[in-house]
Amino acid sequence: MIDAKNPMMRSMTDGNFLAGLAIGALTTFVLTNPSVQQALFRTAARTVNVVKGGVAEAKERFLDAEAEVEMEAGEEADAG
């Protein structure tokens, strides 16, 4: 039975304490387990590659749109 008058016991059953305990355990597991580290780093590397590809695609679309605008502006100047 938890003694409600004992502040130490109340703080140990508090949600913040339990969340901190879980985060600490997870951090320790990740930092000490090479296979988990490798999986995390591979996932991070894949994510970076996906982001780079998305940025390159967005840049290409922007350049295409910019070229279209310049071409339209040139056609308007020729027509005017």
Q: Assess whether pLDDT exceeds 80 at residue 20.
A: yes
- Residue predicted with more confidence, 7 or 21: 21
Handedness of CA 38, 43, 46, 51 (dihedral sign): negative
Main-chain phi, psi angles of 13, to 5 degrees: -100, 0
Question: Which of the two residues, 45 and 7, has the higher pLDDT score?
Answer: 45
> How far out from the chain centre does Cα 51 lie?
10
Tokens representing residue 16 in the block: 């913040």
Span 29-79, pLDDT tens digits: 988 999 999 999 999 999 999 999 999 999 999 999 999 999 998 887 777
Secondary structure, 3-state, 1-70? CCCCCCHHHHHHCCHHHHHHHHHHHHHHHHHHCHHHHHHHHHHHHHHHHHHHHHHHHHHHHHHHHHHHHH
